[in-house]
């Protein structure tokens, strides 16, 4: 690893000329004067900016053309690496932060530029100093995976850990998680840990912490505010509401999707406003309903992975569905069209699946709105063939629920009953 990681062309020349290395604490004079630590950048960055981590924990990008002077600030040099022990305050609430990987949980080694996925309490507090003022944070690293590599076995590990803290003195639990599949994980935890008494919030970041626009710090601060002040329980996803830094949204973990590949406000509650908003550090509650149907915490964490998601489209070949049936799947979630339809060329194979007592649930690829299979002849045909309309459950969440339901019972009638039973706010009226 170079001491100039990610810098190239003009910005590399600029650093070399001024004898500044990545990780150096510097003072920069321009229209405004900034003090902070020079951060590494990604390979594909432009060569016109350097990125500075300010004392507040936020990163900014500074155009080198506009820098009048840059000088090392020896007095606070690399202070972030000292990992000084943080004293707990008995006046503050306690929060547990579990780290699973993803951009949010990564820490950059300021000297080498390597991204290391391990986050200790001290490192966290020194990178986001506001956190220590609002809560005592204990951290635990569960594993370190990009979220596209999070598998049901990782869900199990998270649930196994979380369930041990149902009677702790924590006000809530943060799960730092990659954003790609965060809503799948939040759904699984919502079902498997139904009734869990303290709030859980999954937090990620859309921009890595070496980018000027990183959302990591503010998402974490918002999450801690939410956990310590919301007086609720349930499983949520806490992320930027939109492109501005004023509002963090906490979405119900079974009603949320990642709806944009890169925007900071990528996560949205489907068909509704987020359950909670943290606007300029004040909490706004948008829902009155209880998150869990049950108040008893009886974890059921088993999973069966033999669940298939079938997204229907014109030209979908029913033989693919037959392959799924022949492979021993226990449940099929259709992403049908419109109100919950698939083409009539699917009927013979659907009939076969029904005869084998494979659970078939219908959701809509429209994502928003409710399936209604009684309106058109096609829907009524599919009902007669044994497909169960899953109301307005989001397709991705229905897949997770089916894995969880079929993991906990093998009986068709119980599977059907549990798929339709409200457990963790997965249906809305």
Active-site positions? 103, 179-180, 258
Torsion of CA 298, 100, 269, 393, to 10 degrees: -50
Query: Kindly report the CA angle at 93 between 88 and 99, in degrees rounded to 5?
Result: 80
Q: Please, which residue, 59 or 232, has the CB nearer to a copy of itself?
A: 59
Nearer CB in complex with a copy of itself: 248/307: 307
What is the Cα Rg of the chain in Å?
A: 24
Is residue 345 a contact point for a copy of itself (CB under 8 A)?
yes
The 149-188 site mask, x for binding a copy of itself (CB under 8 A), equals xxxx-xx-----------------------xxx--xx---
Listed in sequence order, the residues at least 6 apart from 99 whose beta carbon sits closer than 8 Å to its beta carbon are: 105, 117, 118, 119, 139, 140, 141, 142, 144, 175, 176
Stretch that binds a copy of itself, among 26-34, 82-90, 191-199, 370-378 (CB under 8 A): 370-378
- Tell me the β-bridge partners of 136: 94
What binding mask, one character per residue, do residues 374-403 give for a copy of itself by CB under 8 A, x or -? xxxxx-----------------x--xx--x
Residue reference for tokens 């229209």? 31
What is the secondary structure of 31-98 as a DSSP string? SSEEEEEEPP--TT--SSEEEEEETTS-EEEEEGGG-SEEEE-GGGTTGGGG-PPPPP-TTSPEEEEE
Q: How many CB atoms lie within 10 A of CB 426?
A: 24
For position 305 contacting a copy of itself by CB under 8 A, the verdict is: yes
Determine which helix (DSSP H) or strand (DSSP E) holds 136, and give its type and residue range: strand 136-141
Residue indicated by tokens 């002849």? 377
Q: Which of 48, 302, 311, 416 binds a copy of itself (CB under 8 A)?
A: 311
* Minimum distance, C-beta of residue 406 to a copy of itself, in the bound complex (Å): 11
Q: Interacting stretch for a copy of itself, rule CB under 8 A, among 63-71, 147-155, 216-224, 280-288?
A: 147-155
Tokens at 121, concatenated: 């309490």
Contact call for residue 412 and a copy of itself (CB under 8 A): no
| Residue linked to tokens 């609430």 | 93
Stretch binding a copy of itself (CB under 8 A), from 47-55, 66-74, 274-282, 323-331? 323-331
b/e burial code for range 255-286 (CB count within 10 A of at least 16 → b): bbbbeeeeebbbbbbbeeebbbbbeeeebeee
Tell me the backbone φ, ψ of residue 109, rounded to 5 degrees.
Answer: -75, 115
Residues written for the chain:
429
323 scored as a contact of a copy of itself (CB under 8 A): yes
**Most distant CA pair in the chain: distance in Å?**
76
Shortest Å, Cβ 149 to a copy of itself: 5
Q: What does the alpha-carbon distance between residue 161 and residue 142 come to, in Å, rounded to a whole number?
A: 8
Answer for which of 5, 171, 209, 364 binds a copy of itself (CB under 8 A) is 364
Shortest Cβ distance from residue 370 to a copy of itself (Å)? 6
Residue 62 touches a copy of itself, criterion: CB under 8 A: no
Is residue 44 close enough to count as binding a copy of itself by CB under 8 A?
yes
Pick from 148, 160, 355, 410 the residue near a copy of itself by CB under 8 A: 148
Query: Does residue number 351 form part of the binding site for a copy of itself (CB under 8 A)?
Result: no
Q: Assign 360 to helix, strand or coil.
A: strand
Is 46 or 368 the residue whose CB approaches a copy of itself more closely? 368
**What's the closest the beta carbon of residue 314 comes to a copy of itself, in angstroms?**
5
Candidate segments 82-90, 167-175, 283-291, 330-338, binder of a copy of itself by CB under 8 A:
330-338
Give the count of beta carbons closer than 10 Å to the beta carbon of residue 167: 9
Q: Which helix (H) or strand (E) holds 284?
A: strand 282-285
- Cα-to-chain-centroid distance, residue 416: 28
What residues numbered 258-297 form the site for a copy of itself, per CB under 8 A?
258-263, 266
Question: Residues 194, 250, 308, 360: which binds a copy of itself (CB under 8 A)?
Answer: 308
Binding site for a copy of itself (CB under 8 A): 42, 44, 146-152, 154-155, 179-181, 184-185, 257-263, 266, 303, 305, 307-309, 311-317, 319-320, 323-324, 327, 335-345, 364-372, 374-378, 396, 399-400, 403
């Amino acid at each position: 690893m170079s001491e100039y990681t990610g810098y190239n062309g003009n910005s590399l020349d600029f650093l070399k000329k001024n004898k500044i290395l990545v990780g150096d604490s510097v003072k920069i004079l321009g229209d405004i004067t900034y003090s902070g630590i020079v951060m590494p950048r990604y390979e594909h960055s432009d060569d016109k900016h350097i990125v500075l981590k300010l004392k507040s924990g936020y990163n900014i990008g500074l155009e080198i053309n506009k820098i009048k002077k840059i000088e090392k600030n020896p007095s606070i040099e690399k202070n972030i690496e000292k990992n000084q022990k943080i004293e707990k305050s008995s006046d503050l609430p306690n929060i547990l932060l579990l780290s699973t990987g993803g951009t949010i949980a990564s820490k950059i080694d300021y000297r080498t530029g390597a991204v290391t996925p391990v986050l200790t309490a001290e490192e966290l507090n020194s990178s986001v100093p506001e956190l220590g003022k609002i809560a005592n944070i204990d951290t635990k690293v569960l594993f370190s995976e990009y979220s596209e590599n999070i598998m049901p076995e990782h869900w199990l590990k998270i649930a196994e850990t979380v369930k041990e803290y149902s009677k702790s003195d924590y006000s809530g639990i943060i799960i730092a998680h990659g954003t790609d599949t965060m809503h799948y994980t939040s759904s699984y935890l919502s079902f498997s840990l139904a009734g869990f008494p303290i709030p859980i919030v999954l937090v990620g970041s859309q921009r890595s912490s070496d980018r000027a626009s990183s959302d990591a710090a503010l998402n974490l601060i918002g999450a801690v505010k939410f956990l310590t002040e919301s007086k609720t329980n349930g499983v949520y996803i806490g992320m930027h509401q939109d492109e501005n830094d004023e509002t963090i949204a906490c979405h119900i973990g079974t009603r949320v999707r990642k709806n944009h590949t890169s925007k900071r406000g990528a996560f949205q509650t489907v068909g509704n406003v987020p359950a909670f908003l943290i606007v300029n550090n004040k909490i706004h509650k948008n829902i009155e309903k209880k998150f869990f149907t049950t108040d008893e915490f009886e974890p059921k964490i088993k999973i069966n992975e033999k669940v298939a998601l079938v997204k229907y489209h014109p030209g979908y070949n029913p033989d693919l569905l037959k392959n799924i049936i022949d492979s021993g799947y226990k449940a099929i979630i259709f992403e049908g069209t419109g109100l919950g339809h698939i083409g009539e060329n699917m009927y013979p194979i659907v009939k076969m699946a029904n005869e084998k007592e494979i659970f078939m649930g219908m959701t809509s690829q429209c994502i928003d709105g409710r399936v209604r299979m009684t309106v058109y002849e096609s829907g009524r045909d599919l009902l007669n063939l044994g497909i169960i309309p899953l109301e307005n459950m989001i397709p991705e969440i229905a897949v997770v629920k089916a894995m969880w339901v079929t993991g906990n019972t093998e009986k068709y009638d119980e599977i059907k009953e549990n798929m339709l039973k409200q457990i963790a706010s997965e249906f809305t009226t």
